[in-house]
Amino acid sequence: MLNETKEILKSYYGIDDNTLKFSDEVLEDISDQFENIKRVREYNQYKVLKAMQECRLSDNHFNWTTGYGYNDIGREKVEEIYSKVFGCEDSIVRPIIVNGTHALTLCLQGILRPGDELLSVTSKPYDTLEGVIGIREEKGSLKEFGVTYSQVDFLSSGDIDFDGIKEKINDKTKMVFIQRSKGYSWRKSLTISDIEKVVKFVKNIKEDVIVMVDNCYGEFIETKEPTEVGVDIMAGSLIKNPGGGLALTGGYIAGRKDLIELISYRLTTPGIGKECGLTFGTTRNVLQGFFMAPYIVSQALMGAIFCARSFEKLGYEVLPKFDDKRCDIIQIVKLNNEEEVIAFCQGTQSAAPVDSYVKPVPWAMPGYDSEVIMAAGAFVQGSSIELSSDAPIKPPYNVYFQGGLTFDHSKMGTLKAIEYIKKLGQ
């Protein structure tokens, strides 16, 4: 580290000599972990570049259209490129999809019909989907429309319960749902290999069952995506991994063409589907972000590993551990109490380029069963590929750290979180 760097870290950011020395020790511990990340990044970068070249992307595709958006060549090109990169037949990539939960909801509502059953094989889905499904009572849920729900919990080892899946699949099972990322759960996230095993297993039991994956936080972590190993449909958010920090909003859905058609009728209206819908001049941001995504994701992964090793060395339990295989960009740190959770998030916020002077506090966020604190000083509001940390304010006091457009910034977020927690004991 340059002396000038140390000086700015000490004089401006208030990071003391002990923490700086600690940071250097952590970097030594984790350097070997970065090599595989770089190899995956390089492959995915060329994969995206190849797709853009093969699809003959031109600056003409960055132009605006108005009104209904018929013949929006930019929109069509974005969806062509996404389909090619994700190795699937078709996709929907739109700024009018407000978040990942919306993208997932469109899939569920577009495909499932009264009398169908949705089977989650990765325990209970992420909190915001509970109301969509009807696990938590909400108006307009799938439950209200006669779609039933069942789930298979993970084994005590954290592995998928294949025997449990076999018992639960029945004639009504229309869709098997897989959540790739851990969400607000203390569990392993799923590798592409894990997902492929589930696909083969359930298709062997019921050939026509539809396998859907919540791919949020998982894009470009490995050299393949779920749709390249037999998954029928998947969805995610553009302000997470695939947006590369440049997409202003939006979500994507990718998979089988017949399923995309059904979902498009829920997106707009039956008979119109994908044929309408403005991109509002976002095409360049979406595609440039997609081009940058493999690199940005690699930076976030490196930051997550730095956070994991730092808090491991400080005696905290973390998941995944610094040398575990990574399946998403999320790092969980199990803290001791509510005060440490708040301090961690306020420390992360203080490292932000935007709203660094703001102190996040817990609040009753819609869709959650407890107060939640979120630190997110981002250029794009709510962007999870930018540095952020968040946590439900309830035992076991897990905080979820993710993102970072650069490794250096992500590292700073960890160092400031450490400093804020240290101050609690003073």
CA distances from 31 to 9, 107, 306 (A): 21, 40, 10
Q: What is the pLDDT of residue 230?
A: 98
pLDDT digits (tens, 9 = 90+) for 334-369: 999 999 999 999 999 999 999 999 999 999 877 677
Give the percent of the chain with pLDDT over 90. 90
Q: What is the mean pLDDT of residues 247-275?
A: 97
SS3 276: coil
How many CB atoms lie under 10 A from the CB of residue 20?
16
Q: Which of 211, 206, 218, 233 minimizes the C-alpha distance to 118? A: 211
Give the percent of the chain with pLDDT over 70. 100
C-alpha 348/C-alpha 411 separation (Å) is 10
Of 370 and 52, the structure prediction assigns the larger pLDDT to: 52
pLDDT digits (tens, 9 = 90+) for 169-202: 999 999 999 999 987 788 989 999 999 999 999 9
Tell me 386's DSSP state: S
Q: What is the pLDDT of residue 369?
A: 74
C-alpha 244/C-alpha 74 separation (Å) is 18
On the question of pLDDT at 426 being above 70, the answer is: no
On the question of pLDDT at 3 being above 90, the answer is: no
C-alpha 233/C-alpha 213 separation (Å) is 7
CA distances from 104 to 93, 216, 349 (A): 13, 10, 29
Lowest-confidence region among 6-15, 76-85, 255-264: 6-15
C-alpha 104/C-alpha 365 separation (Å) is 19
pLDDT digits (tens, 9 = 90+) for 124-167: 998 889 999 999 999 999 999 999 999 999 999 999 999 999 99
Q: What is the DSSP string of 17-79?
A: HHHHHHHHHHHHHHTTHHHHHHHHHHHHHHHHHHHHHHTT--GGGG----TT-TT-HHHHHHH
User: Which of left, alpha, beta for 380 (phi over 0: left; psi -120 to 50: alpha)?
Assistant: beta
Enumerate the H helices of 86-160 as residue ranges: 100-111, 127-133
Tell me: cis bond preceding 360? Omega within 30 of 0 counts: no
On the question of pLDDT at 84 being above 90, the answer is: yes
Q: Which of 198, 401, 188 minimizes the C-alpha distance to 300? A: 401
User: Which of left, alpha, beta for 99 (phi over 0: left; psi -120 to 50: alpha)?
Assistant: beta
∠ CA 334-337-339 to the nearest 5 degrees? 115
Q: What is the mean pLDDT of residues 402-418?
A: 97
SS3 82: helix
Q: Decide if 3-43+291-424 and 64-290 have a common fold.
A: no
C-alpha 352/C-alpha 375 separation (Å) is 9
Sequence spans of domains, the chain = 3-43+291-424, 64-290
User: Which of left, alpha, beta for 158 (phi over 0: left; psi -120 to 50: alpha)?
Assistant: left
Enumerate the H helices of 135-282 as residue ranges: 162-168, 192-205, 257-267
**349 token code pair:** 């916020």
C-alpha 231/C-alpha 178 separation (Å) is 10
Mean of per-residue pLDDT scores for the chain: 95
CATH architecture of 64-290: 3-Layer(aba) Sandwich (3.40)
**5 token code pair:** 């760097």
Q: What is the CATH number of domain 3-43+291-424?
A: 3.90.1150.60
